Amino acid sequence: MRILATISFTFLLALMIGCTATRSGSNGIDRSAKRLATPKSTTDKPKIIALGDSLTAGFGLAEKESYPYLLQEKLKADGFDYEVVNAGVSGDTSLGGLERADWVLEQDNAKILILELGANDLLRGVPVAKMKENLSQILRKAKARNLKVLLCGMLAPPTMGPQYQRDFVAAFPDLAAEHKVEFLPFLLENVATVKDLNQADGIHPNVEGTKIMTQNIYRALNPLLTK
């Protein structure tokens, strides 16, 4: 409830509109084409797979400003020898993530999955039960490969109707409990609604906002790390 109280209706409505709009980037390029390519991997190090939408892909940012890159730098500074693979696709839904899951999770020496999907299901009004089943299938695939998992939650605005809102918000902690995975309730905590921490669209974190988002993820991820 504390987290819900920190996120304004205006931001959530903008987030719903923006996450799908970014399937085509500001330069008109269809970023969904990324799903045709295997996520870039350059080493034999143990891998953390960051599977998500535009918040993971780093929409509007340079590669070295995205959270997967910043996370790897932070891990390295703290003595953790991981490679973080950016498997984010702007505009992706839980179904899109499920369709990519097998080949994304087949990365050599994959050890951890960070799963961040759901905002675009919200935009499309996908039934919560369907979104939940898609995410559950991804989690089962990860567990079948003995991957540790951090699940990132998302919020819903009241315009979706009180029942949908309740079901959507509850879906993520329910999945975390069911599959016994680590859970981050809202990765944009302390970033959402803060003008100076977001890009001009008011939706996606800017460079400074992404640093805070990375810290949020790192704190939740820490119990899964080994040296």
Coil vs helix vs strand at 155: coil
Catalytic amino acids? 54, 201, 204
Strand partners, 205: 198
User: What's the CA gap between 58 and 121, in Å, rounded?
Assistant: 19
Cβ proximity of 212 and 190 under 8 Å: yes
d(CA 186, CA 42): 30
The whole-angstrom separation of Cα 31 and Cα 156 is 25
Distance (Å) of CA 170 to CA 4, 99, 113, 153, 217: 12, 24, 21, 9, 20
Taking residue 217's Cβ as centre, other Cβ atoms within 10 Å add up to: 23
Rg for the chain (alpha carbons), in Å?
16
Distance (Å, rounded) from C-alpha 127 to C-alpha 210? 30
